[in-house]
Amino acid sequence: MKKILIVGAGGQIGSELTSHLRKIYGDSNVVATDMRDCRELGEAGPFEVLNALDATAMASIVARYHIDTIFNLVALLSAVGERNPQMAWSVNMGALNNSLEVARQHHCALFTPSSIGAFGPSSPKDGTPQDTIMQPTTIYGICKYTGEMLGNYYHHKYGVDTRSVRFPGIISNVTLPGGGTTDYAVEIYYEAVRSGRFTCPIPSDVYMDMIYMPDALRACVELMETDPAKLVHRNSFNLASMSFTPEIICAEIKKRMPGFKMDYDVDPVKKAIAESWPNSLDDTCAREEWGWKPEWDLSRMTDDMLEHIRLKFGVA
């Protein structure tokens, strides 16, 4: 990667990936775009306002900056998508189609994240394999699964260097999430510091895979820098780091904040989505094909999350 375009740079992943890539490849070599005018993304390097559904505008930016790698991070997430499935399909698939076509026409590599949401209730729940039955029951999951197939098609049909990971829920102390089922695992830390209590929308015994943002960012770079000859799979690699229930993360916070309290007000939509997803993923293929290995576990992440959020809120 030498000249990088990030589409959807104003989101949870994109805002942090932009600065991460600029530290590695240089500020001027990472072009951030979003349909909103995110001025902060233009302070260190180039920023362009871009509607990802405008293929002509995307192609123009790719040509003008001599882009060789595109990160398409545009997505309406799971819970938001269920409220407006038609819009979710239009946005998620429109941005992907345009990214694939621009990558084909301009000979770019393309990274588009998939998700644990690409699996469904008929997939094996524990140690979900890389290659298994996938019948998602949310529009978000359907978009992600379709995106995986399209990525593979463009690679086999046109030779486009498409790559992808199936992200678990992403936990960050920098950028708040935007309407996903796993959002509770970020919100619980903020509320622990802010008020000492949290009302959880996910049932107490539901396991979901999660990953800390520093590991997620590193995975993006490591996969895209891997020699393509080593890749048996492309779209998309299972990615695992930690798996827990609300009760487990609550207990971890209580070790550090004994007075912390959590109750439940279960959201039926999020409950149904969460219960349709795997409890844990088998990421053997990512480990073997490009050396994936997580660096953060729940305990270390909890220390880091609480430290950074206390600093953010000015709490001793």
Rounded to whole angstroms, the Cα distance separating 7 from 99 reads: 9
Q: Enter the tokens of residue 137.
A: 């029951």
Rounded to whole angstroms, the Cα distance separating 33 from 31 reads: 7
Rounded to whole angstroms, the Cα distance separating 17 from 10 reads: 10
Q: Enter the tokens of residue 204.
A: 């107490």
Given the DSSP bridges, would you call strands 208-212 and 114-115 parallel, antiparallel or unpaired? unpaired
> 63: Cβ–Cβ under 8 A, 6 or more apart, which residues?
106
Which residue in this structure is represented by tokens 């994109």?
14
Q: Is 212 a catalytic residue?
A: no
Element (H, E) at 17: helix 12-25
Question: Can you name the residues that pair with 110 across neighbouring β-strands?
Answer: 70, 162
Q: Which of 65, 140, 189, 212 is flagged as catalytic?
A: 140
> 197: Cβ–Cβ under 8 A, 6 or more apart, which residues?
191, 260, 261, 262, 263
Q: Give the alpha-carbon dihedral of 291, 206, 141, 129, to 10 degrees.
A: 40
Rounded to whole angstroms, the Cα distance separating 231 from 310 reads: 41
Indicate the residue type of 79. Answer: A
Q: Give the active site residues.
A: 140
